[in-house]
Amino acid sequence: MEVKASRKIGYGTTAATASLLLLLLAVAVNLIAARHWRRWDWTEGRINTLSPVTGEILDSLEDPVMIEVYRSGDLPAYFLPTANAVQEIIDEYRHAGGGRVRVRRYDPSRERGLEQRLRQLGINPVQLAFIDRDQRQLRQGYLGLAIYYRDRIETIPFAGNPRSLEYELTSALKKLILDRPPRVGFLAAEHSRPFFRVFRREISRVYELADLTVPGPADTSGIDTLLAVVDSELGREWKQEIGDFLARGGRVIWLIDAVIVDENLNARPADLDLDDFFAAYGLRVNPDLVMDYQSMGAAAFQTDRTGFTVNYPFYVRAAEPNLARDIPVFSGLDSFVLPWTSSLDILREPEGVETTVLARSSSRAFAQSRIFSLAPQLRHPLPGAELDSHLLAVIVKGLLDRYPEPGGRGRDDTTGAMVVIGNSRMARDELLQPGNLAFLLNTLDYLSLDENLIRLRARLAAERPLRTVSAATRTTLRWLNILLAPSAVIGFGLIRYWIRRSGRTGRRGR
């Protein structure tokens, strides 16, 4: 009996000692992890790790950056993973920045007077819906950021998308450290401007945005890059001003609707009066609509009774191998969609000018002109249709002439550039897909800023569809799924049986 009691005490002491050592080990590991933070990322493209672009910008900081996080303490349970993911990204910035990035956290409901200051910063609570006791409830909560650098401040009113947070934060830092952000002029008719709210908001994350109106004073002074959304006549004054702007080394992105499409799918050529302008630079925007029967995007339509989505040839998907991969605009970008787009022609290449095709349709495309039929049922080529590849986007760079004076270049012979796209609908709020936004902002960065943000934004636009596997692979995986778990249980039982049997045999031998 005394031997058994002694054994029990020995076992208990050993177990207690092991538990204590395990606890001390866990505490030590946590202390080391807190001081030497590390995260492993095995995803394709390392999408959960801060990009080298962010590291370069953090290394360039001359003064500390303060990131203030405003997070409500009573967020709904379903939203906590999002809030925690945001916190992890902020922690990555703090560790990657060394001592240059500091973080403060606040709960607006517990800080007196903080909510009023947040309203002044443009950070407002959002309504979050959740289900409680089988009833739908609404709760207001904060998850906003303010970034302070020197005497400047940028805000992210609601950090609700962890996947895009790195781009938003790094863009804000880039804007803060620039002496003066490049100024982008957004030229559009008054009736068109409300359709581009999301696009304009994304531009203003990095650039200073200035509104220019048609009709209105033709003045580009102080503008670094002009973004012209054209669906009606510009007028001679604006054409001359833009020509002078290009000759002075300006950059212009043209989004042109050469054909007007209304909500009933009726189409008519637009009266733009721009043929002579683009001809001066060796280009033509055709009053047609391209249909691509091989590379098309999905379009949603609504009838009186129901809605449906189909692959629609008038939603031309510009994709490999029809993108100019040597241009940084397409860094990490797989495709973008041009709804009801017009084709372009290169008439000539003026002296001192380089013209490059950015994107074209597939070889199974057709351009409708004069008489338009846009019904979603037309998903196959019409009899007798001549299918060919059509130009969708072009960039012109070089010593650009003043319009309409051939040879009337800027006094410093400065290189100008313009990108021409026969479509502005791709940038409208209801049609602004991630690939479209990435392409447009990449183009703006390429002309105006640098190529770093292009690489960062490409991580958002990259498509990672599930890979299609063969029927044999599917069958193999199905049987593995059926047999693997039972086999593991049987194997564990056999090993345990063998161990117990070996133990009994050993005791009998003694």
What does the pLDDT profile of the chain (510 residues) look like in tens digits? Answer: 555 556 556 656 776 787 788 888 888 877 776 666 566 655 555 556 788 888 888 998 889 999 999 999 888 888 899 999 999 999 999 988 888 999 999 999 888 889 889 988 889 888 887 676 666 778 888 999 999 998 888 888 888 888 878 878 888 888 888 878 889 999 999 888 999 999 999 898 878 899 998 888 889 999 999 999 999 888 889 999 999 999 888 999 999 999 999 888 899 999 998 999 999 899 999 999 999 999 999 888 887 778 888 899 999 999 989 998 878 788 768 899 999 999 999 999 888 889 999 999 999 999 998 888 888 887 677 666 789 999 999 999 988 877 766 555 544 567 889 999 999 999 999 999 888 998 998 899 888 865 566 666 655 555 555 666 677 888 888 888 888 888 888 888 888 778 777 766 655 555
Strand, helix or coil for residue 405: strand
Maximum separation of any 2 CA atoms in the chain, in Å: 113
What are the φ and ψ backbone dihedral angles of 98, each rounded to 5 degrees?
Answer: 60, -130
Q: Considering Cα of 144, then 81, then 459, then 256, what sign does the dihedral take? A: negative
Q: Is residue 280 part of a domain?
A: yes
Residue 106: the pLDDT is 94
CA distance 43 to 49: 9
In-domain check, residue 38: no
In DSSP notation, 92-155 reads: HHHHHTTTSEEEEEE-TTTSTTHHHHHHHHT---EEEEEEETTEEEEEEE-EEEEEEETTEEEE
pLDDT at position 370, please? 84
Same domain, yes or no: 143 and 188: no
The pair of structure tokens assigned to 80 is: 């906590």
Residue 248: inside a domain:
yes
Q: Say if residue 57 is in the same domain as residue 93.
A: yes
Q: Distance between CA 231 and CA 403 in Å, rounded?
A: 20
CB 247 within 8 A of CB 280: no
Position 253 scores a pLDDT of: 96
Q: 120 and 186, same structural domain?
A: no
**Is 279 among the domain residues?**
yes
15 inside domain: no
CB atoms within 10 A of CB 98: 11
Q: Tell me which residue of 347, 337, 262 sits closest to 292, measured CA to CA.
A: 337
Strand partners, 71: 143
Category of 352 on φ-ψ map: left (φ > 0), alpha (ψ -120 to 50) or beta: left
Domain boundary among 461, 477, 501: 461
* Residue 475 maps to a domain: no
Facing residues of 395 across strands? 356, 419
Asked if residue 143 lies in contact with residue 72, where contact means CB atoms within 8 angstroms, the answer is yes
DSSP strands (E only) in 241-287? 251-256, 259-261, 267-269, 283-285
What does DSSP assign to residue 423?
-
Candidates 323, 361, 336; CA nearest to 438 is: 336
* 276 and 150 belong to one structural domain: no
Tell me the C-alpha distance between 460 and 54, whole Å. 14
Do 206 and 355 share a structural domain? yes
User: Do residue 247 and residue 394 come from a single domain?
Assistant: yes
pLDDT at 405: 64
372 and 229 share one domain: yes
> Is the domain of 195 the same as that of 237?
yes
Q: 164: which residues sit within 8 A by CB, 6+ positions away?
A: 460
* 221 and 146 belong to one structural domain: no
Residues 6+ apart with CB under 8 A from 487: none
Q: How many structural domains is the chain composed of?
A: 2
d(CA 447, CA 251): 6
State how beta strands 259-261 and 251-256 pair: unpaired
Gap between the Cα atoms of 134 and 156, Å rounded: 33
Residue 324: Cβ within 10 Å count: 16
Question: 209: burial class by Cβ within 10 Å (0-12, 13-18, 19+)?
Answer: middle
Domain boundary residue, one of 443, 461, 479: 461
Q: Say yes or no: 263 and 127 in one domain.
A: no
> Which of residues 154, 170, 197 is at a domain's end?
154
Examine the domain organization and report whether 198 and 143 are in the same domain.
no
Contacts of 177 (CB under 8 A, 6+ apart): 57, 60, 61, 62, 149
Q: Is residue 13 part of a domain?
A: no
CB atoms inside a 10 Å sphere around CB 274: 21
- Give whole-number Cα distances, 313 to 172, 262, 367, 421, in Å: 38, 17, 11, 18
Q: Note whether residue 277 is domain-resident.
A: yes
* Of 447, 439, 403, nearest in space to 421 by CA: 439
Q: Are 379 and 422 in contact (CB under 8 A)?
A: no
Domain limits for position 115: 44-154
- What is the domain-level CATH number for residue 143? 3.40.30
**Distance separating alpha carbons of residues 174 and 65, to the nearest angstrom:** 12
Task: Check if the beta carbon of residue 429 is closer than 8 Å to that of residue 198.
Answer: yes
- Give pLDDT tens digits for 414-448: 788 999 999 999 999 999 988 899 899 889 988 88
**Residue 79, token pair as written in the block:** 């939203």
* Alpha carbons within 13 A on the beta-carbon side of 412: 8
Q: Which two tokens stand for residue 350?
A: 């003026």
The Cβ-side half-sphere exposure at 105, using a 13 Å CA radius, reads: 12
Q: What is the pLDDT of residues 27-70, one digit of tens each?
A: 887 777 666 656 665 555 555 678 888 888 899 888 999 999 99
**Residue 46 DSSP code:** G
The domain that contains 236 carries what CATH number? 3.40.50.880
Residue 124 and residue 239 in one domain: no
* Cα 78 to chain centroid, rounded: 24
